[in-house]
Structure 1
Amino acid sequence: MVDRDRLHALLARERAAFEARNPRSEDAYAQAAHLFGKVPMTWMNKTAAGFPLYLAHARGATVTDLDGHEYTDFCLGDTAAMAGHSPSPVTRAVHERFITSGGACAMLPTTDATWVGAELTRRFGVSEWSFALTATDANRWAIRLLRALTGRPKILFNSYCYHGSVDESLIVLEAGRPQSRAGNVGAPVDVTLTSRVAEYNDLDGLERELAHGDVAAVVMEPALTNIGIVLPEPGYLAGVRELTRRYGTYLVNDETHTFSAGPGGATGAWGLEPDVVTIGKAIGGGIPAAAYGLSAEIASTVGTIEDLDLVDMGGVGGTLAGNALSVAATRATLEHVLTDAAFATMSALASRFADGVQRVIDAHGLPWSVSRLGARVEYRFAAPAPRTGTGSAAAADADLEDYLHVFLANRGILLTPFHNMALMSPVTTEEQVDHHEQVFAEAVAQLRA
């Protein structure tokens, strides 16, 4: 229902306007000759407009670029800044730890870590926690522990899942056959040697793979996110838990993105019972932080295996993991910012955002849909919303996505660059949400004219 010629003309117009209004960002990008890909990390080249905006400063739910333009930030660091940019309790805790007390990386534990472990247990249920700096490492280290515990070699993932850059997770189903995800850079081995894959919401497919008896753990997001939000069908997650127990396989819930579902992520919101929980990004309030939590049974059993080196060079851990600065930031975030009350506010704002998008879709009779996961909202170019990762990937439309992203950016609104995701922070306002509806409606109206 989209005129492709009109879409391409509008996209070219918006890109030209973006270039004209952002000369300082464009120049900064041109001068970055000694950065691989001209950016600090190559994924920063995922931009709808040809070059990235450069950050000047950010506070709360607002970002300002080098050219002085202010943006409502619904990206929020792809959840890393879900607490808002530089929330006051976190900046105070970081100042106290780094400036006043000192000792950010002294390789000594702090009592903040004890508090954080207890709070994560309250929220997610599993009882013993260890720290990392990224969710990728939290997932990687949990996988190693579970392989050691079971003696089984393979890990099962959902097709088009997202667990950071964990090698084993870059597996998808194509025409019903497992294979490496397109673009997988320098895979150390054929991913089918380390992993199995099943579609999300497909219990029959999951059981077929578990029946091989070689799967140490199912690592999954309770709802798929980075391929677009894919929500569980009734009974699906209960079925996953029953099947993993029946086949002697551990269940890992990666809550890094699904933390948006509530104070205890989807695990807490939906009463789930995983054996392991991994989480990163948002818990540090903008400071790199991550964690993985183990059931008491796993923690006690792993501790009895004599030939595992959990202290030195056994492949689990890192010098900066659990550093005093990251843990102090995590405590401040959980204790004072991403609280139970804050999540109620964030979820209400997300509902308002979703309702606004749906009004625009309905007004134009578009075959699009809106999915919401607590404080996280996404609009999809399919109706009904996709029920599997593969279906979600097939519903993507790169040109249409780019048009909406650059149109919004030219009018002071940022979405997550990888997809049409909007995230609410504790300080996002109703006015910012309503402004998005207004600009989104204008973008669609011009497309449909």
Structure 2
Amino acid sequence: MFKFLKDKLKSALAKITKKVEEEAPEEVVEQVVEQPKVTKKPKVEKPSKPKKEKKPKKEKKSKKEISVVEEPVAEAQEIQEELVKEEDLPHVEPAAPEIKPEEQPAEKKGFFSRLFKKKEEVAEEITVPEEKKEEVKPQEQVLEETVEEKKGFFGKLKEKIVTKKITPEKFEELFWELEVVMLENNVAVTAIDRIKTELKYRLVDKPLQRGQIEVIIHKSLKESIEKVLSVPTIDVLAAIKKKTDKPYVIVFVGVNGAGKTTTLAKFANLCLEHKLSVVLGAGDSFRKGAIEQLEEWGRRLSVKVIKQQYGSDSAAICWDTVNFAKRNELDVVLLDTAGRQHSNTNLMREMEKIIRVVKPDLKIFIGESITGNDVLTQADEFNKSIGIDGIILTKADVDDKGGAMISVAYVTGKPILYLGIGQLVSGLKEFNKDEIIKSLGL
């Protein structure tokens, strides 16, 4: 769907982007970019360094080792003095027992001295971390200062951005490429003017960052088309279920050959899938074969068809159908009507009569998507004559241009409700503007 228009739009956007890159004047703009990310760096400065710097413990061990080494030296001196005294004595044998009692007090003195030394070391250990905590603070301040300096330097690098600006005169020249593409693909002139206004507002005299011009133009066109397609829609099935005064009456109108009868049958099938009871009214008593065609659809769907002879009053047939639905407490009445050109005054007056007699809840215009600007004119004239409520476009699956689909809702101010696809009874798809924009390559 829309392959031709999609390719043309892509080509036009590429040309516009190239011209802007090459011909539009450059400007250097100072902007703040990506500064919030730098503020996360000071978190690195918060490691618990005082916990890691438990070096005083190593000093404890060294001091303990020194104290242990000092004690044997004192003991050795005492032992040597005792040995000298023992040599002066005449008897050598009692010397051995005398050494043992003298060693015990020496060991006790070493033990108590160790305890006193440990207390002194503990006092020293308590004071050491306090001094080192004070030393850590200036280091953190230095780190914070260096991070702030780096942050400022990084910001200066990111502030200068080369941009392009499109002047109003240049925009007119560039948009011509896009305008020709849309005209070739049956987009209405009024819709083109709206798209042009939206694009001009978004692009002219705005700083366009170099390297992102194609993305900006692409996004702007997408948003402009979204606005053209943004018409308040109707949830038909929800409206049918909500109505308490049954039946819900829908009239299908349009020109000859647009596919009204087939579309009516597709919608009847949709109602049956949602557990709604349906009756069909053969209001087209003019075209040969129209009644038989509707009867065939009724047989396939197992739905009652109300009819009269050819040449009968269409308004009377539609009235009979509504009364039948009331008597049988049916949910939905679907009325077929003869195709007519909007330029045929007499037939349009007959349509107005049907609307006055039946007073339908919904009037749906059926048009062919592939007829381009013709369907726009038809829908607009029917809307002026009888006031349509919604639109169903048939043959949407074979529409390569897509101009009518983009334009018809904007021209009439009425929503596209469904798209007809193929000849199968299940070929009725709810309209989704996001899918349409995606099909355009936007």
Normalising by structure 2, report the TM-score: 0.30
Q: Which has the higher helix share?
A: 2
Q: Which has the higher contact order (CA 8 A, sep 6+)?
A: 1
Higher alpha-carbon Rg: 2
Normalising by structure 1, report the TM-score: 0.30
Q: Which has the higher strand share?
A: 1
